[in-house]
Amino acid sequence: MRVLVIHGPNLNLLGERQPEIYGSLTLAEVNELIAVAARDLGVSVDCVQHNGEGEIINAIHDARSSYDGVVINPGAFSHYSYAIADAISSVQIPIVEVHLSNIAGREAHRRISVTAASCIGSVSGFGPLSYVLALRALAQKTEN
Ligand code: DQA
């Protein structure tokens, strides 16, 4: 099984960006945790980060021919990008949404995710573990 992990805007600054909310691990360190979990699950994983909406849409489109599933943290796009929501709905492969922080407990504008509705499920609030849980869920779901 091949999974693509897409990190959205501003996640390249993990570690220095509001560590009280997003934690102190860098994106490279988060990707290492994901790689270890993937190895345990017997899943092959690639991680990419894009700041642009169009780049994320293209990554979702391209994933459909080379990956069996996607884990995505659309960052702030989660709250208003109908274009990314449409991209997720446009491909057949399963996609799981992830958030480091618990968006349900944050500012009003973050409580809604317009992209999550197009995904098969979402994991929010567990820091880097959110990615690991999403990967595990995706692997199990795809196995069944
Ligand atoms: C985030 C939550 C979003 O509201 C925010 O804009 C992010 C990160 C998270 O992982 O908690 O960039 O997606």
Can you give 17-39 as a three-state secondary structure string?
CCHHHHCCCCHHHHHHHHHHHHH
42, with CB counted inside 10 A (0-12, 13-18, 19+), is: exposed
Q: Could you tell me the fold of the domain covering 2-143? A: Rossmann fold (3.40.50)
Q: Write down the domain spans for the chain.
A: 2-143
| Nearest alpha carbon to residue 111 among 103, 119, 101, 122 | 103
pLDDT at res. 128: 98
For 24-57, what is each residue's pLDDT tens digit?
999 999 999 999 999 999 999 999 999 999 999 9
Name the band, by pLDDT with cuts 50, 70 and 90, for residue 142: confident
What atom in ligand 1 is closest to the CA of residue 76?
A: 6
Which residues are marked as active site? 22, 99
Spacing, Cα 62 to ligand 1 middle (Å): 23
pLDDT digits (tens, 9 = 90+) for 57-97: 999 999 999 999 999 999 999 999 999 999 999 999 999 99
pLDDT at 144: 66
Claim: this prediction has a pTM higher than 0.85: yes
What is the CA(64)–ligand 1 centre distance, in A? 24
What's the confidence (pLDDT) of residue 10? Answer: 98
Q: What is the mean pLDDT of residues 129-141?
A: 97
The preferred substitution site among 5, 11, 16, 17 for testing ligand 1, maximizing ligand atoms within 8 Å of CB, is: 11
Cα dihedral across residues 95, 96, 101, 107: positive or negative: positive
